[in-house]
Amino acid sequence: MAGRPGVNPLEGMCQPDLLQAVSTWLATLSGERRVSRHTLRAYDSDIRQFLGYMNNHLGAPVGLKDISDAALRDFRGYLSKKALKGNSSTTRARALSSLRTFFKWMDFNGILHNAALKLMTTPKVPHKVPRPLEAPRIFEMLDTMEGGDWTDLRDMALFGLLYGSGLRISEGLSLNIRNIDEATDMIRITGKGNKQREVPLLPQSVSLIRAYREACPEVETDDRPLFIGVRGDRLNPGMVQKRMRALRVRMGLGETATPHALRHSYATHLLGEGMNLREIQELLGHSSLTTTQRYTEVDYTQLLETFKKAHPRA
């Protein structure tokens, strides 16, 4: 859990039985389910905030019986307080999802049962349609990065990979040298939920990665991260975001031009070229076709804009 080394931030607000349950649950998420560090931190934070709310509400350390007896008004009060603090509906929906996951785990393991939580309605999350970049602008962006040192070649290779193979930024940065099959020009990706998939590399991506690897000063081993920082450690997502912000300013791109927008662009452009949604779903590693279907809305939006500009009566 987050906090000072050796200090559990829940101590003082939770009784030992609940403290043990939370610790075991988080260990299960990390070990058996192998959720990402980002997801684990989110679960940890959400549960701590809820138990902190209950601690203040009861005026005493919270135990398993207290949250087993928690009423619908307690859960509503917690989310209402988050809303008053300015938390978005997306953040509140995630907080409720974390609670449901924790309580479901406790129910499954015979620790406690709470029927009230099942009556909670998830806050309505605004539907966001991905906004892809046009292909010429992506190629222009890559050209803009030419002519520098090995770190520029690295960033070109990474951005080219995010667009050329539709990777999440976390997937690209988690790659090791061994994940690239140079004989077949395929890469093995470990996505959400530790699900693995193989994705083909475009010839342009192969060239960009090769140029970066040849220029990179660090010795290569199979276990070495593919994309590294100047100190030889795995490249930090913050550095990638920083580079994209600089490119946005330099090229006059909007705020929607993010590393993740390159993944959206990949899917949208494939859809525009006639690839079916099932194939795109496999390439993106989506567990649900519903998620992939969001890209049909993008394509329709672009089609409508083109129609308005081209049709004489539009």
> What pLDDT sits at residue 81?
93
Q: Per-residue pLDDT for 7 more than 60?
A: no
Alpha carbon distance, N-terminus to C-terminus of the chain: 57
> What pLDDT sits at residue 30?
86
The whole-number average pLDDT for the span 2-31 is 79
* Sign of the four-CA dihedral 260, 44, 225, 234: positive
Higher pLDDT pick, 148 / 85: 85
By annotation, the residues acting in catalysis are 168, 192, 260, 263, 286, 295
The whole-number average pLDDT for the span 237-246 is 92
The whole-number average pLDDT for the span 170-175 is 93
> What pLDDT sits at residue 284?
85
pLDDT band at residue 296 under the 50/70/90 scheme? low
Task: Judge if 84 and 211 occupy the same domain.
Answer: no
Q: For residue 255, give the CATH number of its domain.
A: 1.10.443.10
Assigned domain for 113 exists: yes
Q: Which domain holds residue 94?
A: 16-119
Task: Judge if 96 and 145 occupy the same domain.
Answer: no
Q: How far apart (Å, rounded) are the C-alpha atoms in residues 231 and 163? A: 26
> What pLDDT sits at residue 309?
60
Phi-psi region of 285 (alpha: psi -120 to 50; beta: other; left: phi over 0): left
Mean pLDDT of the chain: 86
Q: How far apart (Å, rounded) are the C-alpha atoms in residues 160 and 150? A: 15
Task: Judge if 115 and 188 occupy the same domain.
Answer: no
pLDDT band at residue 5 under the 50/70/90 scheme? very low
Q: Per-residue pLDDT for 25 more than 90?
A: yes
pLDDT in tens, 219-231: 999 999 999 999 9
pLDDT in tens, 93-138: 999 999 999 999 999 999 999 999 999 988 887 666 667 888 888 8
* Residue 264 tokens, joined: 């959206």
Assigned domain for 127 exists: no
Tell me the backbone φ, ψ of residue 43, rounded to 5 degrees: -60, -45
The number of folded domains in the chain is 2
Q: Per-residue pLDDT for 61 more than 80?
A: yes
Task: Judge if 177 and 270 occupy the same domain.
Answer: yes
Among 15-19, 254-258, 308-312, the least confident range: 308-312
